[in-house]
Amino acid sequence: MASCSCGKPAVYYKAYEARLYCKGCFCRSIEKRVKKTITKYKLLQSNDTVAVGFSSGKDSTSLLHLLHEITGPRRDMKLVAISIDEGITGYRDTSLKLAKQVCAGLGIDHKIVSFKEAYGKTLDDQIPKIEQGKACTYCGVARRQLLNWAAREAGATKLAVGHNLDDEVQAILMNWIRGDLVRASRLGTRTEGNDPNFIPRIKPLRFIPERETALYASLKGFPVHQGECPHATGIRFDIRDFLNQLETTYPGTKFSLIEGFEKIQPFLTTAVAKTTHPITRCASCKEPSSQERCKACELWSY
């Protein structure tokens, strides 16, 4: 049987490092990289109240447990979990049940905000009216707005989301293909706005591949909600498959993409700032927006 460098049986091979890992060394490598990301990008500070977007999926579950371990000994930091109920029958209702159990077990305050309460309708209600392949756009816009709102209501100074390496490189390519340089300029390990109503967003898992967050959660024995959203369609899944194929043939491709993007992002952000409107308030809902009417109101108010 293949062994880790420590001599114990290997459970995982990181092709981009050409290295085998045992269970203990693998889990420590994930924890070390997350802590390094937090330190390098100054994601956490004293007296932070960190709201964690928590769906009970593999990424947000790993993130919640990691942040609980990191902030647990700190009396000057607080965690609160926020779950969004889109109203997806047979999917979100089961994940929320698990989310409540996990938060109760960890002793973390848990808040749930629903599309129905915020917009008067669920995602299931909207699906018949949405152009095919656009469900993720409608859902994503609403989720981002409600996460920010709920984090602010909870008194959070940071909003942590479980975006992993795969999520980020997919977003980079999606925005490039669409020519959406404005959205591309907002990608980053830490995103801030110039409006006090916008809660700074942090991504501690940004440099962890998706399959590694899944394995980490499994090896640690975390209860995780399984299953794909029944409404999930669109170009992201084709890009995901394309990137996975590249990564298999050329290990390290995803890291190279995100590292290359980080080099050009400062120039992109500067260029976009000269041609776009500053963040103000939506005329309808008063939430932060770069337009007179925010995207959430535009999509959900008909």
As given in the structure block, the two tokens for residue 181 are 């340089």
Alpha-helical regions (H) of the chain? 23-40, 58-71, 92-106, 115-119, 123-126, 135-153, 165-178, 181-185, 210-220, 235-249, 253-275, 295-300
Angstrom distance (rounded) from CA 43 to CA 159: 10
Q: Which percentage of the chain shows pLDDT scores above 90?
A: 65
Q: Please tell me the pTM assigned to this model.
A: 0.92
The mean predicted confidence, pLDDT, of the chain is: 91
Q: What is the domain partition of the chain in residue ranges?
A: 31-300
Residue with tokens 């939506």: 282
pLDDT digits (tens, 9 = 90+) for 239-276: 999 999 999 999 999 999 999 999 998 888 888 776 76
Q: Contacts for 291-294 with beta carbons within 8 Å, 24 or more apart?
A: 294/145
Cβ-contact 57, 225 below 8 angstroms: yes
Domain 31-300, classified CATH 3.40.50.1980, yes or no: no
Q: Measured on CA atoms in the order 215, 217, 223, 228, is the torsion positive or negative?
A: negative
Q: Measured on CA atoms in the order 225, 25, 63, 71, is the torsion positive or negative?
A: positive
Angstrom distance (rounded) from CA 207 to CA 201: 16
pLDDT digits (tens, 9 = 90+) for 6-25: 999 999 999 999 999 999 99
pLDDT digits (tens, 9 = 90+) for 108-119: 999 999 999 988
Angstrom distance (rounded) from CA 259 to CA 247: 15
pLDDT digits (tens, 9 = 90+) for 172-208: 999 999 888 888 888 899 998 777 889 999 999 999 9
